[in-house]
Structure 1
Amino acid sequence: MPFTTLEIELQGPVATIWMNRPDLHNAFDETLITELTAACMALDDDNDVRVVILAGRGKSFSAGADLNWMKRAANNGLDDNLNGARALAHMLRTLAEMKKPTIARVQGAALGGGMGLASACDVAVASTKAVFATSEVKFGIIPSAISPYVLRAIGARQATRYFQSAERIDAVRAREIGLVHEMVEPDALDAKVQEIVACLLQGGPLAQAAAKDLIRAVNNQPINNTLVEETAHRIAHLRATPEAREGISAFLDKRQPNWIGE
């Protein structure tokens, strides 16, 4: 699939989506939004891909939405403005709801929508040079489309501060508030990402997809008979799958399961 704003790098079962607008700090316009949505959908449907890494070329991970794109959409009227906002929201949801494990590789600035992209990924690994912000209020707008994913990452209390203050969040603080899982020196960033990739490749792909769905179903729900029954159904269903039978047999036979490559 040809892209103008992305590069897709395939290394065995691992796909890296490189946002490739380095001169614009990988800010996204309508083209990047459309292409990133399409790339996520295509890689999610590719059975040969097990893990997806989202990364940015150049100094920045992503500076978020291209303000010139937002201005064009707003000036073209309500319908275009709303369609652009819907496309952005759909892109973020497509990334967040991929069946495959996703990792954000954040080497530099992840501002506004860029912080949303990092939050929408399952795992975020940041360089010590990374910096984050929900900077939208400085432009008279709000971090609306990214809010479900940022709230999931840092919680309402922290979001209440940063959505209003637009303060820069350095990598140390980002790890403290749960925005990133790991923080390493720049020259160790790729090694840390690959370390996590290696762990993810040990898990069953259907089980990982089910685990992500489980979190969405259980998070913030009251523990009652309905929830307990649902969790029982989910594990009972998974135990009956060929993948689970293979995983349990492999463990008992002291061998690698068939989803782990040579």
Structure 2
Amino acid sequence: MSYQFLQLEHRDQVAYIWLNRPELHNAFNTQVIEELHHCFTQLNGRDDVRVVILAGRGKSFSAGADLNWMKHAGQASQAENEADALKLAMMLHSLATLKQPTIARVHGIAFGGGMGLASACDICIASTDAKFATSEVRLGLAPSTISPYVIRAIGVRQASRYFLTAERISAEQALNIGLAHEIAAADELDHKVDEIVQALLLGGPEAQTASKQLIQLVDQKQLTQELLLQTAQHIAHVRQGSEAKEGLNAFLNKQSPTWITPLA
């Protein structure tokens, strides 16, 4: 599929998805949402892609929803509104549940849905000039579809502030509240992203997928006997896999497992 508002770039085992609507700070409308959902779904079926990086062309990562699109949605019927919002919710879910590790490469602004995209990724690396915000209340809206991912990233207490104030969050603040994992000067941003990519490529791809699923399994669950059983079943299943057997044998024999291949 050819995309109008995205650029998909492959560098060895890494897929870069570039939001490519720079004249509107990569704000998204229905077509952008559909293209992102399609792209995430396709990449989820690719065994040759080890890491997915989401980035933005131009001055910004993403300004969130296109306001003209939001205005049009507000004038639609309840059923049409729900269907439209569900597309955004499903797109974010397809990003959050990708089998590959995902990195948000954030520069400039990441407002509203843009902050949602960054939060839905496993790892967020931001430039020191980045600004985040859940800006919806200043438009008379609420950060509904992005809320599961933002709250997961920053916690209920911080969300209680920023959902209500819509204050801009600096890169340093984002680091302090857990939204960003690393920050770097603009000219060092790609180098920092590459460092994280190199670390990810040392892990087994099936093990990383299983670890992502484990986080979902355990998150906010009480430490019950049922949870103990579920985690025991999880590791038992992973240990029986061919990747785990190879990884353990490679370690014991002081060799590199086959999933580690040098980048060109």
What TM-score do you get using the length of structure 2 for normalisation?
Answer: 0.98
Identity of aligned residues (%): 57
> Residue 63 of structure 1: SS of its match in structure 2?
coil
1:227-248 deviations in Å (ceiling 9; x for gaps):
1111111111111100000100
Number of aligned residue pairs: 262
- 1:104-119 → structure 2 map (5 Å cutoff): 104-119=104-119
1:143 and 2:148 aligned = no
Determine the C-alpha separation between the residues in 2 that align with 1:44 and 1:156.
Answer: 30
Residue type at the aligned position of 1:158: Q
Instruction: Give the aligned CA root-mean-square deviation in angstroms.
Output: 0.7
| Residue 257 of structure 2: aligned partner | 257
> Residue 48 of structure 1: SS of its match in structure 2?
coil
- 1:1-262 → structure 2 map (5 Å cutoff): 1-262=1-262
Determine the C-alpha separation between the residues in 2 that align with 1:117 and 1:249.
Answer: 38
Determine the C-alpha separation between the residues in 2 that align with 1:78 and 1:223.
Answer: 40
1:134-156 deviations in Å (ceiling 9; x for gaps):
00000000000000000000000
Determine the C-alpha separation between the residues in 1 that align with 2:49 and 2:181.
Answer: 23
> Residue 157 of structure 1: SS of its match in structure 2?
helix
> Residue 31 of structure 2: SS of its match in structure 1?
helix
Residue type at the aligned position of 1:251: F
1:104-137 deviations in Å (ceiling 9; x for gaps):
0001100000000000000000000000000000
- Residue 78 of structure 1: how far off its partner (Å): 1.9
Q: Which runs of 5+ in 1 are unaligned?
A: none
Residue pair 1:74, 1:80 contacting (<8 A) in 2 also: no
Determine the C-alpha separation between the residues in 2 that align with 1:204 and 1:108.
Answer: 33
Residue type at the aligned position of 1:111: F
Determine the C-alpha separation between the residues in 2 that align with 1:140 and 1:250.
Answer: 57
- Residue 74 of structure 1: how far off its partner (Å): 2.1
Determine the C-alpha separation between the residues in 1 that align with 2:224 and 2:166.
Answer: 39
Determine the C-alpha separation between the residues in 2 that align with 1:162 and 1:54.
Answer: 23
1:39-88 deviations in Å (ceiling 9; x for gaps):
00111111110000000000110000111111112223222211110000
What TM-score do you get using the length of structure 1 for normalisation?
Answer: 0.99
> Residue 126 of structure 1: SS of its match in structure 2?
strand
Determine the C-alpha separation between the residues in 1 that align with 2:204 and 2:124.
Answer: 21
Q: Which runs of 4+ in 1 moved over 3 A?
A: none
